[in-house]
Amino acid sequence: MTTAFPPLAIPSAVLKELRVRDDAGNPPRPYPDDEGDAPLRCCLRSSTAGERIALISYAPLRRWAAQTGADPGAYDEQGPVFVHAGDCGGPAGGNPGYPWARPGALRVLRRYDSRGHITGGRMLALPDDAQAAFAHALAEAFADPETAQVHVRAVEYGCYHFRVDRP
């Protein structure tokens, strides 16, 4: 499935830095994932049992703001994300759709403007056709000309899942 609004993983150059020291200033603590199913933000898939992963702190607006000159101020939040402990090569080729789109899951889509300020949000209870629901919600978000990017997060834990930029 090709999506009009492709989900973006954490960029590989950023991951290289985060695998040395995360956005909270801590070194990562890699471990073998005994259970699997951790949402990996480096490659936008779930882990499998036995893979070496790390739970790190990530500030999704920080480096984007540094590149663009934006000033997100208090919106420069950070939180925990799972990544592979070493380079994984990023998402598999193509654009397979939106990750972690389980029917029944609750997601929030936060809209940010070019300053990195929140301009709105929407909660989304994923229906059976979760991919279509994401596509519709993102089209709705980008219908606002002020929206520069959208962050998708899990409602239950508030975890950052992925970013989508204005096409």
Query: CA 17, 81, 132: angle at the middle one, nearest 5?
Result: 120
Please answer whether residues 148 and 113 qualify as being in contact, where contact means their C-beta atoms are separated by less than 8 angstroms.
yes
Asked if 101 and 130 touch (Cβ cutoff 8 Å), the reply is: yes
Question: What's the pLDDT score for residue 59?
Answer: 96
User: Mean per-residue pLDDT for 12-32?
Assistant: 97
pLDDT at 92: 86
- Residue 98 placed within a domain: no
Examine the pLDDT at 141 and tell me if it is beyond 80: yes
In a shared domain, residues 127 and 67: no
Domain contains 91: no
Of 84, 115, 140, the residue at which a domain comes to its end is 84
Strands of the 79-84 sheet, one edge to the other: 31-32, 52-58, 79-84, 39-40, 45-46
With respect to residue 46, please indicate whether it lies within any of the assigned structural domains: yes
For 132, the domain range is 106-165
* pTM (predicted TM-score): 0.93
Instruction: Indicate whether 1 pLDDT > 60.
Output: no
Q: Is the same domain home to 79 and 26?
A: yes
**Do 16 and 61 reside in the same domain of the chain?**
yes
- My answer on whether 74 and 113 are in the same domain is no
| Total tally of structural domains belonging to the chain | 2
Which parts of the chain fold into alpha helices (H)?
12-18, 62-68, 130-142
Is residue 129 scored above 70 in pLDDT?
A: yes
- Residue 153 inside a domain? The answer is yes
Evaluate whether residue 117 is within a structural domain: yes
In terms of domains, do 120 and 161 share one?
A: yes
Give the model confidence (pLDDT) of 46-101 as tens digits.
999 999 999 999 999 998 999 999 999 999 999 999 999 999 999 987 667 899 99
Q: Specify whether 111 is located in the same domain as 74.
A: no
On the CB side of 66, CA atoms within 13 Å amount to 5
Residue 98 CA neighbour count, 13 Å, CB half: 27
Decide if 31 is inside a domain: yes
In a domain, 75, yes or no: yes
Final residue belonging to a domain, choices 49, 84, 119:
84
> What mean pLDDT is predicted for residues 25-31?
98
Q: CA 22, 54, 75 angle in degrees (round to 5)?
A: 40
Is 3 part of any domain? no
Residues 73 and 116 in one domain: no
